[in-house]
Structure 1
């Protein structure tokens, strides 16, 4: 790719780019050293309880040649490929967790995003006509900013969007600057690839903000700051480049995007976040978080250089746009409405998404700030320019920023002083002192790195030692992943009983009025791990009624609300004390309940009631496994069915007015059923239970309805003796298949039309992108052949090298 970028870079000393990139790699290795080592490392709640289990399941499925459409381990079964955070269609997760063991893949995954963010930012800065010093500073400022560095240990959606964002800008700039149709289309594909990965990583607020930033940049480069062109040419250029990027982006994302759009319509978030009226949001005073070591720390030196960029580097390196981007992100981070909020609310779904923690818009701020800082340093270092009067501006900006925050530490004051001295040295040293200028620039980048890295590491340590708190993303612990994911003895016991499909739930006493022992913020506690909650069923190969995920079927939420006789936070599907004896729990095939051993503490009446009602079949590891012998099997046959409205069925089942073992409640006219002479001879046996395929054998003396304690979803299809059969929604949530009298084989397959269509679309668009890349390389080689021959002929005639070509393709 550098062959297509190189002609747009500013001249630099020999090996300067190589030295800068090597320095960036060394700093990345230093920052990721603890992560790459065996043993304990910093891991966030979301990474440990969501992303790593999902990615491991994804990799295991892909290694076996399966497309993981369904997840049987959470929420009594739920869509997997259609889940927006599952990792499906996100190439780093798919490739790394397929090729490597889960623990090695987890380390490589964290390292990859740091490298991508840094290298892509460096390339983008160079393409934006920054020198190597400014580009290196931009890359360091962005890669190790607090938000990216800390979130890369916890909440991968943020880190993934931030890592791919500069790559998307790089492709957009390449397309706008290219004079060749072939290269332009290829750059559309590059930007579209990055956009597709952003959509795959965070379909929602993150991708919305990134898309706005990317399209805004395209508009800026085609309307505001293009080469001399007329109004029509500028507007048509905007449509052309934006359209090309969007076609490639959404085309490559189709394999995940299409099934997710289908799933969203059936999910608990179909109408937006439940707290759409507003949650979170910054005030102007919160902007100081950018100056204080913590999650949002951007670095005082970086912000000081960025603040003066509109004055020092105005008109260069797209400075006006990135200054506007930073300001827009700050404005949008506030909860109070502004004209910008009102304008963007005209866009589809923005008004439903943005009010939910609007400070998430800061996901696009840090790239703008890093590029502005690099542009300032690059302008100060331009040879032959009088920069003396400008050198005071960064120092004044530093003092101004320090005046707005708490008194700085001595170490920070020393770092800021050294940074200003190094920036001045880089600017004042003459061009012939290239080595000393390079050392000054490298030292400045190292000082910025040290400040950001120390702040990021301190933030991780602080969060790792914190207790309680309301922000889930702040919960970070230092744990050994190998030890954390090792199955407990209780999990092994349940696995030994997997011949007959069943589910379990972990239940613990509530330690706070609104938090149970299974809360994800307690993921590192041994008691929580022993309960098998927090999606640990996935890593153990078991099946559970619970899980931790913001998205699931709306029907399942309704079911759990009826089971508990109360609602709960949309992230969870816990069973409360009031639901432990509900008939709806038996209907979910909950055969086992894991509870803490011993006498429960105050507030543990639910645990004691469970122990009184169910026998203990295993005890060890400080817990007990209870057997619920009243649970319904995974599949059974009924010969009675009646129609019930969706809002009626749950009430009838929860009250015990209808016995689901005898009668099925359908939402449409029931099929023809008959009662056998001897109903006790009915048999429904599961012979194979895979993630996307279930096989059963049935025996009945009269036409009946096979009911499965499996979550209904439209993508599931039923076959009886190999022929398609009708699949009904039974008992509000479950699946049912009519079976005739006699012995028959029944098969259910997950066959998602949207998933298959998405794979086909993405395959075609991906093939087009590969073809464009091959064609561009072939054409370049063909052009290089005659040029090389001409140079050799010229050298043979003149006995010397050709004169350098003057000028360049700067915009």
Structure 2
């Protein structure tokens, strides 16, 4: 990986931060990967926040730094209990960033190895399969994203299902592998995994169908129970999110059937429409989400077993997964308007089933390799013909576009490599099996070289000291009260999570709908998924949210007339918004900050926790300008009992009636659904442990 060439390097596309203040002089933006923006602005801040909170002895329930406060534990992607993420709590930071993608790669590869062996492949065929899958397009493209945790566990889930079907295992193994996947940070992939594993068992069959399906269903039920400590709060957050409640397309692009139909050509030309890591991307959609290349020899080897797949229902089931995934990725989008009306199913992005295309191709390639080395596999000529046909279609349809963009040379290189490899390998059919056994080690080597050439630069490296460095502008803001916001992409969210600042903007996939409605009144428009910059700086709501500081690019004019510039540096300019209200204040009384704060004192403020002293001769409403959520609880004074839910003030903030008199207000956040989730998870764990002990005892009695 590129990170290994840098002394303090980590795999990170975050050099693209240099496009925005206050980081413009920190790195070379061209050395990043703009299509991996989620890693830069979401994933890495989440991991750093998890590390900070757990090292402080706190469970990371609430993120106070973005969206004027938002759920962290239950945002669906932070994966706070996934074992690989917990490495950030115990390991040095650089080692954590380096180990995380490598462990995902190894876990995914080992899963394919064990699955292939369970399906009857020998060690050489299993080696082929376990190298192809983790190096294929989608797993590499998403290697730095929590989705990759789930990708790495897909083969383990299928391995568990196969062991249920063949009678070697039971529901316990599936509950563990699927339970881990449910904690991995990408629920959508878990649903897709459940879909393809159901299809697998349906096509594969079993000698004892009732036992197999019962074990399959019960395994998934226990998996859901084991993970409920995270997934149950997530469901409550999801059902209140703009992504779930919004009826539109989620901010995505219009469906273009021509663009979709040409996507399969990238199976043979990985850079058919450029590569963002090289600054040459010009294609539709997103490179990261649409890459599917799994290697030239993979297609040929997979086709080498075509004549024998039908003899074994296990391999028919793998072929069924390939066909189903291909249809879901390339055909179903053409019926998008119909699909989005289907409950739950219509909310999923089925183009991500490309991971199943890569996995099934890897397994089928391992199967075909076995046939080839045994002296058969003549159907690989079908694969050669398919490769030649796809290349011909690509050149016929794209030659003019390539000429316009100066990429003919790149496409010619890949065409010569892909077609040349296919033709040369086809001639291996003339070799006797004894000779094939001598040359077979070259095949995994060629596959690895091919896939590294295609995908090796997707995830660039970056010096750790350049990942969210503390610039002079950040130092200026660190001890300032009030919230902050940036103009355009300046101080791009979720940077505040790293610096401990408090931003009213945020960049999460799961956003609370009630907050997005408010935010959209002063942003460019309502968007249920993506971050949009602030457009109307005169909005009264910005003041009510407590914004006191506005960061702009250096030398940039004030976004609102009359603002005083208090910081003017080479990295940024910072203006003070004098009429921004205090974060803790009385509702609707007084004209100055002093009037709004008379009798109020913040004694303690932590993520998900406030302790506020108050004193008022009359009953008033105390407003805390942090986003209201069902998980917030309040009580007046210490002692047992007395917890209640704060009211909603100013559409989205917390309001608590106090007075007359004096006392302390305590606010504490516990994700809604966490307590029942803990109980369900403990019940699932108890069931798993008790069942394992009973099974162990029965085995010992049987062996005697």
Fold-level match, TM-score > 0.5? yes
Higher relative contact order at CA 8 Å, sep ≥6: structure 1 or structure 2? 2
Pairing 1:400-411 to 2, within 5 Å after superposition: 400=389, 402-406=391-395, 408-411=414-417
Match of 1:178 in 2: 167
Q: Which of 686, 690, 704 is the aligned partner of 2:602?
A: 686
Q: What is the match of residue 318 of structure 1?
A: 314
Offset at 1:309? 2.8
Q: TM-score, normalised by structure 2?
A: 0.83
- Offset at residue 92 of structure 1 (A): 1.8
- Per the alignment, residue 127 of structure 2 pairs with 136
Partner of 1:8: none
2:582–2:596 Cα contact (<8 Å) kept: no
Structure 2: 5+ residue stretches without partners: 14-35, 272-290, 396-411
Which residue pairs with 1:712 in the alignment?
Answer: 628
Distance 1:757 1:36, change over 3 A: farther
Which moves more between the two structures, 684-693 or 750-759? Answer: 750-759
Structure of larger gyration radius: 1
Match of residue 48 from structure 1: 40
CA contact (8 A) 1:172 1:191 kept: no
Q: Report the CA distance between 1:781 and its aligned residue.
A: 7.0
Matched, 1:495 2:490: no
Q: Is residue 305–residue 364 contact of structure 2 (8 Å, CA) maintained in 1? A: yes
RMSD, matched Cα: 3.2
TM-score by length of 1: 0.72
SS at the partner of 1:201? coil
* Contact 2:3–2:11 under 8 Å retained in 1: no
CA contact (8 A) 1:422 1:444 kept: no
CA distance in 1, matches of 2:164, 2:84: 25
Aligned with 2:376 (options 387, 394, 399): 387
Corresponding position: 1:376 with 2:359: no
From 201, 207, 216, the equivalent of 1:218 is 201
1:289 maps onto 2:263 in alignment = no
Q: Secondary structure at the match of 1:171?
A: helix
Contact 1:419 1:447 in 2 (8 A): no
1:395 shift after superposition? 4.9
Secondary structure of the 1:248 match is helix
Aligned pairs (5 A) from 1:790-805: none
Pairing 1:261-272 to 2, within 5 Å after superposition: 261-271=235-245
CA pair 174-336 structure 1, distance change in 2 beyond 3 A? closer
Q: Which deviates more from structure 2 when the two are superposed, residues 75-84 or residues 371-380?
A: 371-380
Q: Deviations over 1:705-760 (max 9, x none)?
A: 11111111111011101233552111101111111122211100113340122123
What is residue 537 of structure 1 aligned with on the other side? Answer: 496
The 1:333/1:392 distance shift into structure 2, 3 A limit, reads closer
Kept after mapping to 2: 8 A contact 1:618/1:625? yes
Cα offset for 1:219?
2.2
- Looking at structure 1, the residues matched to 354 and 543 of structure 2 have their Cα atoms a distance apart, in angstroms, of 46
> Is residue 2:248 matched to residue 1:274?
yes
Alignment of 1:332-731 (within 5 A): 332-334=328-330, 348-350=343-345, 352-354=346-348, 358-382=350-374, 387=376, 395-396=384-385, 398-400=387-389, 402-406=391-395, 408-417=414-423, 419-420=425-426, 428-429=433-434, 437=437, 440-457=439-456, 460=458, 478-497=461-480, 500=481, 502-507=482-487, 516=488, 518=489, 531-564=490-523, 566-568=525-527, 570-576=529-535, 579-598=536-555, 600=556, 607-610=557-560, 612-638=561-587, 682-722=598-638, 723-725=642-644, 727-731=646-650
Distance apart, 1:307 and its partner CA: 3.1
Give the 3 Å change call, closer, same or farther, for CA 374–88 of structure 1 in structure 2. same
Aligned counterparts of 1:194 and 1:68: Cα–Cα separation in 2: 19
**Paired positions, count:** 639
Question: Is the Cα–Cα contact under 8 Å of residues 89 and 253 in structure 1 kept in the other structure?
Answer: no
Q: Is 1:766 matched with 2:667?
A: no
CA distance in 1, matches of 2:318, 2:341: 23
Determine helix, strand or coil for the equivalent of 1:269.
helix
Quick check: 1:752 aligned with 2:671? yes
Give distance in 1, aligned partners of 2:584 and 2:266. 55
SS at 2:625's partner residue? strand
Instruction: Please state whether the residue corresponding to 1:562 is helix, strand or coil.
Output: coil
Structure 1 residue corresponding to 2:151, chosen from 137, 143, 162: 162
Q: Partners of 2:163 and 2:516 in 1: how far apart?
A: 46
Secondary structure at the aligned position of 2:533 is classed as: coil
1:148-171 CA-partner distances (Å, limit 9, x unpaired): 112214x442x2332111011011
1:478 CA displacement? 4.7
Alpha-carbon offset, residue 619 of structure 1: 2.6
Does the 8 A contact of 1:636 with 1:683 survive in 2?
A: no
Pairwise CA distance, 1:213? 0.4
Deviations 1:290-322 (A, max 9, x none): 111242212221112223433234333722112
Q: How far did residue 768 of structure 1 move? A: 3.8
Aligned residue for 1:91, secondary structure, equals coil
Structural mapping, 1:70-219, within 5 Å? 70-93=62-85, 95-153=86-144, 155-157=145-147, 159-178=148-167, 183-197=169-183, 200-204=184-188, 206-219=189-202
**Structure 2 residue aligned with 1:469:** none
Q: Give the alignment partner of residue 252 of structure 1, picking from 226, 243, 261.
A: 226
Alpha carbons 2:368, 2:377 under 8 Å: kept = no
CA shift, 1:662, in A, is 7.8
Q: 1:636–1:707: 8 Å Cα contact kept in structure 2?
A: yes
Q: Secondary structure at the match of 1:310?
A: coil
Q: Distance in 1 between matches of 2:195 and 2:337?
A: 13
